[in-house]
Amino acid sequence: MKKIALSISFILLIFSVVNAQDYVVPEEVWYHTEVMGSNYHGYVFNKDWEVDIMVENQDGRFTPEDIDIAMAEKLMQKKIAYLNRNHENQEGMCPIIDEHLTKYIRQYVGFTDINGARIIWINGVWDDAVAQKLSQDIVLTKGGCGRYWSVKVNLDTQKVYGLEVNESGDVQYIPRKRKPGPRISKPRNDLRIQRIRKTGIMHNPDEVTF
């Protein structure tokens, strides 16, 4: 009987010690979702992932689902040849985008505008040197001509617009303006006494308690 009582006491002691430790909010480790269709392959970035791009009348962000990507690809592939009819920056050794769509790895970012429409920004990259980086962060470049392009697809109006093709010349990678990554919760000690810091109020030295 004493052994049982001691065992129970030991278990309760361990439980109390574990509960007394600092509570840590789980960190968000989501980076991307890889998507693949019959004629496209790419990475979808979460709505909380910081990006250095915006769309017109932007009001927020959303995380595209597989069905959203499939629709965006269908619309883009149907209309890209017309949008690219002038073959801007695609002369000589530079590939014509709509003739080599399957060669490009895509990056997808979802936005919402003030009218509630969902817009997907598609970034197309054909460059083996950065293929491994495309799942880690948005890759923006200068130069490289038709191997780098982007376009916007409005899922609600089915409009495909804003095609941008890099200029000719050597490739230069544009550095990030902000640190990449999702917002991550930091460890928090729930047992610590919470203090309120007042601001904008003048105190005499004797009144300052924080």
pLDDT (tens digit per residue) in 109-149? 999 999 999 999 999 999 999 898 999 999 999 999 999 99
Residue 47 maps to a domain: yes
**What per-residue confidence (pLDDT) applies to 148?**
97
Domain that holds residue 120: 32-173
- Quote the mean pLDDT of the chain: 79
Tell me which residue of 138, 186, 133 sits closest to 23, measured CA to CA.
186
Q: Which of 61-65, 156-160, 176-180 has the lowest mean pLDDT?
A: 176-180
The per-residue pLDDT for range 33-58, each reduced to its tens digit, is 899 999 999 999 999 998 999 999 99
**What per-residue confidence (pLDDT) applies to 39?**
94
Q: Which of 15-19, 38-42, 154-158 has the lowest mean pLDDT?
A: 15-19
SS3 (DSSP) at 173: strand
Residue 19 maps to a domain: no
CA distance 72 to 159: 10
Residue 186 maps to a domain: no
Residue 74 maps to a domain: yes
More confident residue, 27 or 163: 163
**What per-residue confidence (pLDDT) applies to 199?**
37
**Rg of the chain in Å (alpha carbons):** 26
**What per-residue confidence (pLDDT) applies to 92?**
85
Residue 164 maps to a domain: yes
CB atoms within 10 A of CB 16: 9
Q: Where does the pLDDT of residue 173 fall: very low under 50, low under 70, confident under 90, or very high at 90 and above?
A: confident
Q: Where does the pLDDT of residue 72 fall: very low under 50, low under 70, confident under 90, or very high at 90 and above?
A: very high
Total domains, the chain = 1
CA distance 144 to 57: 29
Residue 139 maps to a domain: yes
**What per-residue confidence (pLDDT) applies to 134?**
94
More confident residue, 167 or 27: 167
pTM of the model: 0.72
Task: At 169, list the tokens.
Answer: 């010349």
Measured CA distances, 145 to 49, 83, 132 (Å): 27, 16, 20
pLDDT of residue 210 exceeding 90, the answer is no
**What per-residue confidence (pLDDT) applies to 32?**
74
Residue 179 maps to a domain: no
Q: Where does the pLDDT of residue 176 fall: very low under 50, low under 70, confident under 90, or very high at 90 and above?
A: confident
pLDDT of residue 60 exceeding 90, the answer is yes
**Using alpha carbons only, what angle is made at residue 48 by residues 104 and 164, rounded to the nearest 5 degrees?**
35
Residue 198 maps to a domain: no
Pairing between strand 118-125 and 105-113? antiparallel
More confident residue, 91 or 102: 102
